[in-house]
Amino acid sequence: MSFSPVGNSSKRISESTIHRLSLYYRALSLFEKEDYETVSSKDLAKGENLTPAQVRKDLSFFGSFGTRGLGYPVHELRRKIASILGIDRPWRVALIGVGNIGSSLVSYKEFQKQGFQIVKLFDNDQRKIGSNHKGIVVSDVKNIERELQDAKIELVILAVPATIAQYIVDDVVRAGVKGILNFAPVILRVPDDVHLRNENMAMELEYLSFAVVNNQRQK
C-alpha cells in the first residue's frame, strides 16, 4: 500500500518511509527534550541504523532542507513530521475486545504518549460489560455502530477472536471509522477508503524461526 505525499506531488510514499518518519519523530522528541536546537542528518541517522543520505533524502522529499553547517531545526522539523503523520492533534480511539491482549493495550503508554487516546471500550462478554478499565466503562458491542459515532471515534483497535472479527469490522465500517488496527488472526475485508493494519505476533516469531533456521542451513 502506498499514499500520495502531502502537497501536490504525484509521487507515492512507501510504508517504510512512513515507518522512518515515525522513527525521526521519536528521535526529534528526544533531542527537543534535551534542548537541542538543531540536529544533523548524521544525528538523526545514528541509532536508527540508517545512513545520513537516507535521512536527507526522506526529509527533502517532504520539503525540509537542513542548512549546511547548521542542520535541521529540531522543534520545527518535529512539528512538521507530526503534521505529516497526522499526530499534531489527539486521536479518539476505541478498543474492541477487553480480553488478554486487549486489556493490556488499554494501559499501553506509547499510545497515550503519541496522542492516541483510548476513550471507548467494547466487549460482548456480559461479565466484562459495565466493568471499569483505567476509568473507562466497557460498553456492549451490540450497540457499537451508534456508540462509535456518538463518541466521534476515528480509529479502532480490534482484539477479538478471529471468528467474530469480520462481523464487528462491518459494524465499525458502517460507523464511518477509517482506520483499524487488527490483532485478530484473520484476514478482514474492508472497503477501499478504510485503512487496515494487521498485527500478528505469532507471524513475527515465524519470521524469526525462518531466519534462524535459514542461517543455520546456509552454514
C-alpha cell at 112: 497515550
Select 60 or 117, whichever has its Cβ closest to a second copy.
117
Counting contacts by CB under 8 A, is residue 209 touching a second copy? yes
Of the pair 34, 110, the CB lying nearest a second copy is at: 110
26 interacts with a second copy by CB under 8 A = yes
CB 190 within 8 A of CB 159: no
Instruction: Give CA–CA dist 173/179, Å, rounded.
Output: 9
Q: With respect to a second copy, which residue has the nearer C-beta, 143 or 200?
A: 200
- The answer to whether residue 181 forms part of the interface with a second copy (CB under 8 A) is yes
Q: 122 with 96: CB under 8 angstroms?
A: yes
Sheet strand arrangement including 91-96: 132-133, 136-140, 116-123, 91-96, 155-158, 179-182, 195-198
**Cα(first)–Cα(last) distance of the chain, in Å?**
36
Q: Which residues, 100 to 159, sit near a second copy by CB under 8 A?
A: 100-101, 103-105, 107-108, 110-111, 113-114, 116, 154-155, 157
Give the count of beta carbons closer than 10 Å to the beta carbon of residue 142.
11
The residue ranges that bind a second copy (CB under 8 A) are 1, 3-4, 6, 15, 18-19, 21-23, 25-26, 47-49, 84-87, 91, 93, 100-101, 103-105, 107-108, 110-111, 113-114, 116, 154-155, 157, 178-181, 185, 187, 189, 193, 195, 197, 199-215, 217-218
